[in-house]
Amino acid sequence: MPRISWLVALLFIVTPMTAHAQLWSGIIDRSRAIDWTNAGLPGGIPNRTVTCATLNPGATAEQISGAIASCPAGQVVFLSAGTYSLSAGIDFAGKSNVTLRGAGPDRTFLVFTGSTGCAGLQADVCLQGSFSWSGGPAHLTTWTAGYAVGTTQITLGSVAGLSVGQILILDQANDVADTGQVFVCDQKAAKPTSCVNSGGTGGTGGRIVGGVAYNQQQYVKVTAINGNRVTVSPGLYMPNWRASQTPGAWWTASVITSSGVEDMTVDHTNSTGANGIGFANAYQSWVKNVKSLNSNRSHVQIQYSAKCVVRDSYFYGTKNAATVSYGIEVYQAGDLLIENNILQHISAPILVQPASGTVFAYNFDIDNYFSPNRAWQTLGPVWSHGAGTSMNLTEGNDGVGFIEDVIHGTHNFATVFRNRFSGLEAGRTTQTIPIVLQAYARYNNFIGNVLGTPGYHINYQKNAPSGTGLCDKSIYTLGWSNASCTTDPVVLNDPLTISTLMRWGNYDTVTGAPRWNASEVPSGLSQFANPVPATKNLPASFYLSAKPTWWGTPWGNPPWPAIGPDVTGGQDPTGHAYKIPARLCYENSARNPDGTLVFNAKKCYTSTSPSTAAAQTNTTA
C-alpha cells in the first residue's frame, strides 16, 4: 500500500511537530494522535517465489510442521490443491522467515479436528516464539528514566540478556485513583470506585504484580544499547508514562519474525482448539488471503506481538456465537495492521484488548450474530474491550458501529476517521447505536464519519444519566456504564467521556448534514486540548499517502476516499458513502450452499499485496 513519502518520513524524524501537522492536516492536535504510517510490515508482505517443499492432500499436520521446520529462510512451504484432514495443529515452532501457502482459499482446504498448544492459545495454526508468561516474564527489568512522549532513549535497570534487534514490552502499573485525566484501570471494586461495570471482572491483559495489573503496554524494537541506556523504535506514544507507576520492560529469548499464512481455507468447525490462527511473540508476521470458518473463541488471536498484518481475508462464524466469540482478537499487541477483511456472522468481529498504535482499516462486517438474543445488536467491526487500548486508528470501515465498553476497564486516545456506521441491522431493536462510548472512554477523536440510518435514528446523543428514552435510536451514547443506557444501583457515569471527545465533520442522519461545530471540539481542556480546526478539508487517509494498489475490483473502482462528508453520489442512503472493496467482494462473490462465500482475494481485488513493488524486493521484512 502507498505510504507517506520518504521525504515526509525524514521530516518526521527531524521535525516531528511539523510532520505531525502534515499527517493530520491541522485537524487533530499532536498530543492526541500518533504517526500510523508505520503500522504493519515495513515495505509490505514479502512476495516469496522460491518453494522449499510441496505437500499434497494426505499430508499430516506433523508433516506440514516438519516441512516448515526444514525450510530455508525466505522460502515457501506449498500446499497443493485439495482437502487436508488434520487431527493436530500446524506449529511453526519459532521458525522465522517462512511462508505457508496454499493454492488459494477456493482450492486448498485444511479441515482440523485437533489443535496445538501454542503457548496456551490452543490454536489450529500456531506462529509463536519462545513464550514469556505475563505473570512471570523470563526477562524483566525496571525502567528508570526516559518517559516523555516521542522519546526513543530509555534507561533500564539491567540490560543482561538484551541485544539489539530484540522486541521490548514496556508497561506500567494501572492507576489506583482517577485524577480526571488519562486513566488506565481495570479494577473490579465496590462502586463508585470501580472502573468496570457490573458485568465486568477486570484483569484482562498485562502482567499482575501484587494484585495490580499492568495493562498499558507499548512494543518497541531495540536499535542500540549504551550501558543501561537503550535506544528503541518507535518512540513512546502515551503521555502518562511515569516513575510512580513502577514502569518495567520485559522480553522473550526469541520472537518469530517474518512468517505468514496465505492462500488457503482453514476450517475449525470440528477442531478442539480455542483459536484458529494464533500469534504469540510474533513480529512482522501475517495472515493474507485466508478463509477461516467457525472458530471457537477467535479466528485469529494476536498476543504479545507487534507489527503483524491480517489482510485480504474472510472470516465466518463462531461456534459459541455469544460471549467470547470473536473474529480477530488483538490481545496485548502493538502497531498491527488489520486491513481489507470481510467478517460475517460473528458476535464481535474485531475485539481489542490492550493494544496501541494499531490500524483497523477498510474492513467490512455484516450479520454480527449473537445467538442468545437476536434482537440485541453487537457492534463492529471494531470493539475496544480491555483496559489499556490507546492511540489506535479506525479508518474507512463499513459496518454497524464502534464501541469502547467498560466491561474490563478504560480506554484512551482512539481516532475514528471516515467510517460508515449504519447503527442498524435487520431484526435488531436493542443497542442499535452507531457510536457507543461508555464510561472512561476518553480523549477520542471522531472525524469525517457517516453515521446512522435515515428514518430510524431520530436522536443525536444520549448522555448518562439523562434518562433512557430514545437510547437505541440515538447516534451517540456517551458516558454510560453499559451500552443500553440502563442503570445499575450505583451507575458508572463519566462526564469526561463527553468533555474530552473531539468531533469534527461527521455526517449523521439526525442532523442531516456534516457537523462542523466548535462546541464539539475540546479546545478548553487543561491537557490534550484540541484547537478548533481552521479547515473543513479532510485528508483522504491518516495512514496512506494515496489510493492503495488493491483498491480496484472486477465490479468497479470505488472513489478514493469512499466515505466522508465531502463524498457525494454515494451508494448508501446518505449519499456520502460508496461501497469499499471488501463490501464489493462480499456482495458479488458466489455463495456455497451454507451461505459462506466462495472466496479468493485474488479474484476480488486488483492486488492482494499492500505494495507489490516493495514486497518483491523485501524478502525478510
Interval 417-426: pLDDT, tens? 999 999 999 8
| Residue 317: pLDDT over 90 | yes
| Residue 491: pLDDT over 80 | no
Dmax (CA) of the chain: 66
What's the pLDDT at 369? Answer: 83
Query: What are the residue ranges spanned by the domains of the chain?
Result: 33-131+256-378+580-613, 139-192+201-251
For the chain, what is the total number of helices (H) and then of strands (E)? Answer: 6, 47
Nearest Cα to 386, choosing from 363, 361, 362, 403? 403
Q: Are 389 and 364 in contact (CB under 8 A)?
A: no
User: Is residue 72 exposed (0-12), middle (13-18) or buried (19+ Cβ within 10 Å)?
Assistant: exposed
What's the pLDDT at 198? Answer: 54
What's the pLDDT at 193? Answer: 61
What's the pLDDT at 13? Answer: 32
Rounded to the nearest 10 degrees, what angle do helices 6-14 and 16-24 cross at?
130
What's the pLDDT at 611? Answer: 36
Strands in 438-486 per DSSP E: 441-442, 445-447, 450-451, 459-463, 474-478
Question: Per-residue pLDDT averaged across 12-30, rounded?
Answer: 56
Which of the four pLDDT bands, split at 50, 70 and 90, describes residue 342? very high
User: What is the fold of 33-131+256-378+580-613?
Assistant: Pectate Lyase C-like (2.160.20)
Report the alpha-carbon distance of residue 303 to residue 483 in Å, rounded: 27
Q: Find the helix or strand (DSSP H, E) in which 70 lies.
A: helix 61-70
Torsion over CA: 421, 424, 426, 428 (sign): positive
Question: Per-residue pLDDT averaged across 452-469, rounded?
Answer: 86
Strands in 120-268 per DSSP E: 123-128, 139-145, 153-156, 167-172, 208-209, 212-213, 216-226, 229-233, 248-251, 256-257, 260-267
Q: Find the helix or strand (DSSP H, E) in which 382 lies.
A: strand 381-386
What pLDDT, in 10s, does the model give residues 52-77? 999 999 999 999 999 999 999 999 99
Which of the four pLDDT bands, split at 50, 70 and 90, describes residue 482? low
What's the pLDDT at 607? Answer: 67
Lowest mean pLDDT of 2-16, 100-114, 323-337, 603-617, name the range. Answer: 2-16
Tracing cell 462526564 back to the chain, one arrives at: 495
Which of the four pLDDT bands, split at 50, 70 and 90, describes residue 465? low
What's the pLDDT at 135? Answer: 64
Supply the DSSP symbol for 553: B
Angle at CA of residue 563, ends 428 and 588, nearest 5°: 65
What's the pLDDT at 192? Answer: 55
| Residue 614: pLDDT over 60 | no
| Residue 551: pLDDT over 60 | yes
What pLDDT, in 10s, does the model give residues 273-289? 999 999 999 999 999 99
What's the pLDDT at 207? Answer: 86
What pLDDT, in 10s, does the model give residues 211-223? 888 999 999 999 9
Please provide residue 70's backbone torsions phi and psi, each rounded to the nearest 5 degrees: -95, -5
| Residue 537: pLDDT over 80 | yes
Percentage of the chain surpassing pLDDT 70? 88
Which of the four pLDDT bands, split at 50, 70 and 90, describes residue 616? very low
What's the pLDDT at 24? Answer: 66
What's the pLDDT at 130? Answer: 84
| Residue 203: pLDDT over 70 | no
What's the pLDDT at 206? Answer: 80
Q: Mean pLDDT in the chain?
A: 89
Question: Per-residue pLDDT averaged across 385-408, rounded?
Answer: 94
Report the alpha-carbon distance of residue 28 to residue 178 in Å, rounded: 25
| Residue 208: pLDDT over 90 | no
Q: How far is CA 526 from the centre of its chain?
A: 30
Report the alpha-carbon distance of residue 449 to residue 467 in Å, rounded: 26
Which of the four pLDDT bands, split at 50, 70 and 90, describes residue 373? confident
Percentage of the chain surpassing pLDDT 90? 74
| Residue 127: pLDDT over 80 | yes
Question: Per-residue pLDDT averaged across 396-408, rounded?
Answer: 94
What's the pLDDT at 211? Answer: 82
Question: Per-residue pLDDT averaged across 508-536, rounded?
Answer: 97
